[in-house]
Homo-oligomer: A and B are copies of this chain.
Amino acid sequence: MPMTDQEEKARRYELLKAQLAMAKHQDKSVVLVVAGHAATYKSLLVNQLNHWLENRQTEVHALAPSEEDRLRPYWWRYWRRLPARGRLGVFIHGWYGDALFARVEHRIQAGAFYDRLKEINAFETMLANEGVVVIKVWLDIDAAQQAKRLHEMKADPAQAWQINERHWQRHAQHSAIQYHAQTLLEETHLPHAPWHCIVSESPGKQLRDITVLLQNALTQPTTLPTQPELNRAQTNAPSLNRSKNDDEKLSKSDYLAALNLAQARIAYNHRRCLERGIPVVLAFEGHDAAGKGGSIHRVTSALDARFYRVHSIVAPSDEERLHPWLWRFWRRLPRDGRVTIFDRTWYGRVLVERVEGLAEEQDWQRAYREINYFEAQLLTHGAVVGKFFLAISKEKQLQRFKARANTPHKQHKLNDEDWRNRKNWDEYQCAINDMLMHTHTPGAPWHLINTDEKRCARLAVLNHVNRLLANRLENGS
């Protein structure tokens, strides 16, 4: 039964009002995934919806991965297309099409399919926690009806252009799609991101069903994921308390000789990574004045400027604040073969944001798990992930602060924030140890380096980068 004109107008007005309210308050965003069989009026529906809604606040994505997408970790393509708070993103097939059709076409096997579904669940749970309302619609149709509709469209000059080889291929695969979609729907039906199955009968009815879902999403409070318990702590994680400094002083000439050698090896190893398309992500955290900048400089001196980039992470921009918190790190990931160095990182979430009270406890608590997922996705893509924590003793820090204050060309490196952080020394020590414990994963372990002896520390960083690159080059394909 189609809508009456009056019904339609009223519904349309309500929906628009709700959308504009969301745009104004910027309190959440909505992600609408429209998936399902071929010939279920998906594009018609999305066009109609786009026509009803405020265009400037809506984005439609029907993903054909670009070269840029292919050269980055898999999820990058979705992160970069996430709507900012206040906006609506419509994703045709969303992150489901890839996994489903790869399985249907036997490009992945059963186990890898489950891995993908598990990643999807982690992604959507993160979205829900970050104030994104996820609505998922599966459009169903049986094979006979699908054939009938395809033939009708093919026969209609106004619609025939819409039907291509792909539609007939999907029709031939109908039973395989139905079979694997069943698994997919069951495994990814989350309380905070449920599936809505709609049998495709008429465009009008589908539009009505989906506007109801949208209307509810825009106006009603949303289900939040229950917090999963914290990941198991790693038993062999490094810890500040256990770290001691037994480095001996190194003479300048010995240091320079070793430095030269280590940098030459980095240059050579990275050239091989470039040839093999292996991306490298190096994350540097550490106490103020522990020498992050100096260590990073020693790494980059060995690299070709065309192939690396250093990102200093400061407070998020306005645009970044409107996205899930990891968004600003995803957007900075290197393409295959390149090196990206983070001077301060995503670990700010469980360090400065925790200590300064910039994040709620429940939010930084779940960040450990989100970070581990993030890094696992880099590893799955084949990236080298190096994590360095440059530590310093409290006394040594004071010494360096004073030296900075008294050296004209170093004064700019010292600011009020450094002194404030120093006041919170004990809270930071505690946050650092928790971080090391919860995120020292086998695939992406921490390297805790004591920097009281600067030369030894720098060499330790360089040697470790070399070890990571060499190991990755020898392993895997």
Contact = CB atoms under 8 A, between A and B. Distances in A.
Interface string A168-209: 010011011000000000000000000000000000000000
A70 interface: yes
A308 interface: no
Interface in A46-66: 64-65
A213 interface: no
B471 A376 contact: no
A107 B382 contact: yes
B107 A379 contact: yes
Contact of A169 (B166, B172, B471): B471
Given A166-B474, A467-B165, A379 B105 contact: yes
Contacts of A107: 379-380, 382, 443, 475-476
A409 interface: no
Contacts of A1: none
Interface string A333-357: 0000000000000000000000000
A108 interface: yes
B470 A70 contact: no
Copies of this chain present = 2
Interface stretch (A113-121, A123-131, A245-253, A395-403): A113-121
A106 interface: yes
Nearest to A463: B165
Interface in A21-42: none
The binding surface of chain A is classed by DSSP as helix
Nearest to A64: B474
Given A112-B115, A113-B111, A105 B165 contact: no
Contacts of A172: 445
Contacts of A175: 236
Nearest to A180: B442
A65 B380 contact: no
Interface in A429-477: 441-445, 467, 470-471, 474-477
A133 B451 CA distance: 56
Contacts of A102: 475-476
A296 interface: no
Contacts of A69: 477
A41 to B, nearest CB: 21
A106 B380 contact: yes
B169 A104 contact: no
A115 B106 contact: no
Contact of A106 (B101, B376, B471): B376
A10 interface: no
A420 to B, nearest CB: 37
Contacts of A112: 109, 111-112, 115
Given A112-B111, A112-B115, A165-B471, A379 B106 contact: yes
A144 interface: no
A315 interface: no
11 contacts: A65-B477, A98-B476, A102-B475, A105-B443, A105-B476, A107-B475, A108-B380, A109-B380, A110-B115, A172-B445, A175-B236
